[in-house]
Amino acid sequence: MPDGVSIRSMSASDLGWAHVLNEANVPAVGTETSDEFAHLLDVASVALVAECEGAPAGFCIVMSAGADYGSVNYLWFSARFDEFLYLDRVAIDERHRRRGVGRALYAEVERLGLVVRPDATEFCLEVNIEPRNDASLDFHSALGFREVGQQSTPYGTRVSLMSRSLLAG
């Protein structure tokens, strides 16, 4: 864990600032109403907050198989994998990027995700290629994610669907 960084569970009391951070990062992440954003937390199997020096600096929200979630990208993975972790979104406040916060969040997603869903075989997510999100593509490449498909979405984006194996070895 980087110095000064800690990770904890996300709760309903985090929804306000996290929604503001979400909207500040559109189109890298999808825009949501407050109610839609709250629904993401309701259906998540893992939702985490990263704090830097004790203040919230980022969050991520993860669903697993069988969630009440209609995102076309979630449905793409649902059609291909029986058991998986799907990282719906991650955003780190720009003042705290490139100090290992994202990497630390993903390590905790994988650890906790396998506690909640021990049979999960894949860690899945998508990254925009239209409009192109080079920082996220570089981040996910550095963390070992590889493209397993592409699709255009009803939200006007085209995405690279990526995954990383959760199987040991």
Interface residue list for ligand COA (CB under 6 A):
25, 28-29, 90-92, 97-103, 127, 133, 135-136, 138-139, 142
| Closest approach of ligand COA to the CB of residue 109, in Å | 12
Nearest distance from C-beta of residue 118 to ligand COA, angstroms: 26
CA angle 135, 132, 153 (to 5 degrees): 125
Taking the least distance from each CB to ligand COA, the nearer of 82 and 144 is 144
Of the two residues 94 and 119, which places its CB atom closer to ligand COA in the complex? Answer: 94
CA atoms within 13 A on the CB side of 141: 7
Nearer to ligand COA, 41 or 137 (CB): 137
Residue 38: enclosing H or E segment and its boundaries? helix 34-43
Conformation bin of residue 22: beta by default, left when phi > 0, alpha when psi is -120 to 50: alpha
Instruction: Say if CB 29 and CB 22 are below 8 A apart.
Output: yes
Closest to ligand COA by CB, 66 or 144: 144
Least distance between ligand COA and beta carbon 64 (Å):
18
154 alpha-carbon distance from chain centroid? 19
The CB-of-96 to ligand COA minimum distance in angstroms stands at 7
Give CA–CA dist 108/122, Å, rounded: 15
- Indicate the residue whose CB is closest to ligand COA: 102
